[in-house]
Structure 1
Amino acid sequence: MVRIALDPTPFHHDFSLLEFPEVAARLGYEHLQLTPHVDLSPFFRYPKADDDLVARFKKAAKDAGVGVPAILPVQRISWPDEPQREAAVRNFRRIIELAVQLEIPVINTEFSGRPERAEDSETAFYRSMDELLPVIEEEGLRLNIDPHPDDFVEDGLEAWRVLRGLNSKAVGFVYVASHTFHYGDRATTLLPEIGDRLGAVYAADTFDHRRSHGLRYISNPPGNEARIHQHLRIGDGDVNWDELFDTLRMTGYLDREDALIVSNVFAEDERADEVSRFQLQRLRELIG
């Protein structure tokens, strides 16, 4: 049975960390993916949770009847400058400890390098994995990585090659639908290539920034390197959802017991309840 999880980012400003499980349950979700939060694992900084907060969160999730199948930290593990990379590794070690304490089996993350220093960033990534991967494997965790827009690798197939180079079954790929067009719009060929190493799918829509001969968006000054994408409600962008889910079905992902699909719409916080309920219903239809 495919698990559908809520990304609680739209609720960060109105609810506390300990309220997220109840929010997810109220909206009809049985699962929650933890994302960077100031009380747990802030972006790029050392995690802030202690044993007491971990215990209180576990109780809140149990009381709400909500499972937490994955945690999403973002640390500069591929940063081309050594001080930032070393700090990211230290931070990530603590995140691994928290995942174990929280009984969360999956860590989903990003490369977090720099595209203008791609070679240095790739080298930094492998250096970080030399330190972190043995710990992840020893703890029996799964690490899945998304090649995020504005990272040292953005193309989906090239990112898969980088991950495949680690030669570890503990490492997989996060397919983020709203990054489709930065990946190269290749779901029908990329997902079969990744196969059973696909670890998670994030569901939000986006517009194809390449359309209108590159003028779908205008950002100044002309020719700048800004990466533009959205996290919209399913159906509000250009992602071919039938094609994506047909491919997920064909590759067997939707039949896997560990299949995870995360709703992560960030563009409509003022309608977060309504949009979250819509996402859950639409995902159930696409899966069914």
Structure 2
Amino acid sequence: MKIALDPTPFHRSHSLLELPGVVAEMGYEYLEMSPHADFIPFYGHPKADDATVRAFRKACDDAGVGICSVLPVLRWSGPDEDAREAAVRYWKRAIQITVDLGVPVMNSEFSGRPERAEESERAFFRSMEELLPIIEREGIDLRIEPHPDDFVEEGHAALRLIRALNSDHVGFLYCTPHTFHMQSDPLGIMRDAGPLLRQVHLADSFDHRRSSGLRYIVNPPGSTARVHQHLNIGDGDVNWDEAFSGLREIGFDGTLVSSVFAEEENAAESSRYQLRQIRERTAAR
């Protein structure tokens, strides 16, 4: 089992090439290469040229840190066809960057629109018709997560879409801070996923459905905004005993990623705390 850090909380305070050293300093052996303005930004064409890719790979080698996965977030399921076609082009460059880094794993979101779910699903499969042969040819293991405000938000529904691709190269990523948007069924989703569950993002979140749906008050009333957090383990409502017991039950041996974004001002302390929690909870029986 790999334990990795998403270094997003350090993006503002450190340069791209400094991130591997920071991850090592926090005690992690792996990092997840999440969207970064100088590498593969959110929804945009990858900005890293070949020299930057080589320099980043060397920085990881020098720090003794492996890259567990590369995470692009691109509108490959967007119902706007021009945006979808652009996202496919961006994905092709992101795949090449991943191959050049020597990394066999990518993970992402579905990145469609919930109010246009049927169109987004069509767009997703249209994109995968073009990208999946490349992913399979390059030996990439792609792991996809449902996300709040996406055309698929619930875990079981996401698993149905992944199975529909009928490829051993595509698996499932469970993001614990999305638990309450996935109908709060972590154990059931893990059991449903079985060996398809290959990566887990670990952070806490509050259950927005509590207090008669008034845990958060969003104005104007009736807003369709989705609210969730990426907090330290234990700071929210996720049932961590259930989550880790579920991973043990299915024999999970994939990648666990600390994915806290709400503690940027305490990023070092938070990252070290997360690592202790993950180690203690995976060691418990």
Normalised to the residue count of structure 2, the TM-score between the two structures is 0.98
Distance 1:184 1:161 in 2: 16
Q: Which amino acid aligns with 1:269?
A: E
The residue number in structure 2 matching 1:263 is 258
Residues 123-272 of structure 1: pairs in structure 2 closer than 5 A: 123-253=122-252, 256=253, 259-272=254-267
Distance 1:68 1:87 in 2: 26
Distance 2:49 2:189 in 1: 40
Distance 2:273 2:153 in 1: 29
Q: Which amino acid aligns with 1:60?
A: A
What is the DSSP-based 3-state SS (H/G/I as helix, E as strand, rest coil) of the residue aligned with 2:165? coil
Distance 1:155 1:35 in 2: 22
- What is the percent sequence identity of the aligned residues? 58
Question: Does residue 69 of structure 1 match 2:68?
Answer: yes
Distance 2:68 2:263 in 1: 25
What is the DSSP-based 3-state SS (H/G/I as helix, E as strand, rest coil) of the residue aligned with 1:262? strand
Residues 95-106 of structure 1: pairs in structure 2 closer than 5 A: 95-106=94-105
Q: How many residues are paired up?
A: 283
Distance 1:133 1:147 in 2: 19
The residue number in structure 1 matching 2:87 is 88
* Superposition deviation, residue 159 in structure 1: 1.1
Distance 1:100 1:224 in 2: 42
The partner residue of 1:281 within 272, 276, 280 is 276
The residue number in structure 2 matching 1:40 is 39
Distance 2:158 2:57 in 1: 34
Distance 2:119 2:52 in 1: 37
Distance 2:36 2:186 in 1: 30
Distance 1:225 1:202 in 2: 24
Normalised to the residue count of structure 1, the TM-score between the two structures is 0.97
Q: Which amino acid aligns with 1:6?
A: L
Gaps of 5+ in 2: none
Give the stretch that moved more between structures: 84-93 or 49-58.
Answer: 49-58
* Superposition deviation, residue 3 in structure 1: 1.0
* Superposition deviation, residue 121 in structure 1: 0.2
Distance 1:23 1:191 in 2: 32
What is the DSSP-based 3-state SS (H/G/I as helix, E as strand, rest coil) of the residue aligned with 1:5? strand
Q: Deviations over 1:207-237 (max 9, x none)?
A: 0001111111100011110000000000000
Gaps of 5+ in 1: none
* Superposition deviation, residue 282 in structure 1: 0.5
Q: Which amino acid aligns with 1:196?
A: P
Distance 2:36 2:101 in 1: 15
Q: Deviations over 1:101-140 (max 9, x none)?
A: 0011111100000000000000000000000000000000
Q: Deviations over 1:176-225 (max 9, x none)?
A: 00000101111111111111111210000000001111111100011110
